[in-house]
Structure 1
Amino acid sequence: MPVHEHEKHARKNLKLGVITASDSRTPETDASGKLIRTMLEAAGHRVDYYEIVRDDREKISAALVNNLENLDAIIVNGGTGITARDNTTEVVKSLLDKELEGFGELFRMLSFNEIGAAAMMSRAIAGVRHGKFIAALPGSTDACRLAMEKLLLSQLGHITYLLSK
């Protein structure tokens, strides 16, 4: 089936979650989490779960595992860099049944067009766990906007449709 045919079946009004992995952000200072939630809601989806968790493997894993079952997808922001405290990529990778390698590749390509060679330090990742979609983005608000505008908003409905088959 051609892509435009799949898009006709794209699901709408998704139940989504947003996790911010950070040791320093609060609900008042979480600009990236707020941006993601605002963009999802503007696209007609519901954000049924939002949480800021410490950049800690067990806390990130528990937040994903305990909430994904009741949602169509979760988007995590933060913890995808290369510092010792950046744990999100490893956690998400360990939970996935299938990784969508193209997500990280495309995100870094798009990032390169905006920030140059520093894009190689992003370890953004996405994939599927138990028929649900997970994406992990950098904590930068600009990076989150880029991923949402260029990759996620146009494909979330299509991805969740395919996962429901």
Structure 2
Amino acid sequence: MAHPPALGRPVRCAVITVSDTRTVESDLSGQIIQTLLGEAGHRVSDYRIVPDEPGEIRPLCQSLAAQADAIILSGGTGIAPRDTTYDAIAALLEKTLPGFGEIFRQLSFQQIGSRAVASRAVAGVYQSTLLFSLPGSSKAVTLAMEALILPELPHLVSLLQG
């Protein structure tokens, strides 16, 4: 059962799509994240598409952390040579939420089978800001948002804000 909303305000979220090919028009996963956040009463304060380059992902997260309660990234979490989001994000995290990746892969396994082992979805905290790094597929994004992120987002933010 989800915790009741713990904040007296919407959660301020930044959405980042990591892709070498997607555009605003073709970024279904980014659109899904923004729509679901809005429907849940949260606010998207920033939305960007960046190439799968740690040298661009990491500084963007660092700058957005100053203005967002949570940053949700999609894309670049696999093991292909250009999948570097995990590496960029893992280096930033001061605390990890191992249960996020574990449960996400378990839920993914129920949907896609053994291919779930290739996901390096991760979540944690950087400078009192939540970071969630999701695969780029729209089904994976929807699963993570509906089953894990939206039910816990206000509670997790309230914990960080003490």
Q: Which residue of 1 aligns with 2:14?
A: 17
Q: Which residue of 2 aligns with 1:85?
A: 82
Secondary structure of the corresponding residue to residue 83 of structure 2: coil
Whole-angstrom distance in 2 between the partners of 1:112 and 1:8: 28
47-56 vs 59-68, which moves further: 59-68
Q: RMSD over aligned Cα, in angstroms?
A: 1.2
Whole-angstrom distance in 2 between the partners of 1:100 and 1:92: 13
As a proportion of its length, which structure holds more helix?
1
Report the count of equivalent residues. Answer: 161
Secondary structure of the corresponding residue to residue 107 of structure 2: helix
1:109 aligns with 2:117: no
Pairwise CA distance, 1:131: 1.0
Q: Which residue of 2 aligns with 1:151?
A: 148
Q: Answer whether contact 1:9 1:161 (CA < 8 A) is retained.
A: no
Secondary structure of the corresponding residue to residue 127 of structure 1: strand
Secondary structure of the corresponding residue to residue 19 of structure 1: strand
Over residues 54-92 of structure 1, what are the superposed CA-to-partner deviations in whole Å (9 max), with x where a residue is unaligned? 000111111101111111010000000000000100111
The runs of 4+ residues in structure 1 deviating greater than 4 Å are none
1:74 aligns with 2:76: no
Which letter maps to 1:131?
S
Whole-angstrom distance in 2 between the partners of 1:75 and 1:142: 15
Q: Which runs of 5+ in 1 are unaligned?
A: none
Query: What does residue range 22-101 of structure 1 map to in structure 2 within 5 Å?
Result: 22-101=19-98
State TM-score, norm by structure 2: 0.96
Which letter maps to 2:44?
V
Secondary structure of the corresponding residue to residue 95 of structure 1: coil
Q: Which runs of 5+ in 2 are unaligned?
A: none
2:116 to 115, 119, 125: 119
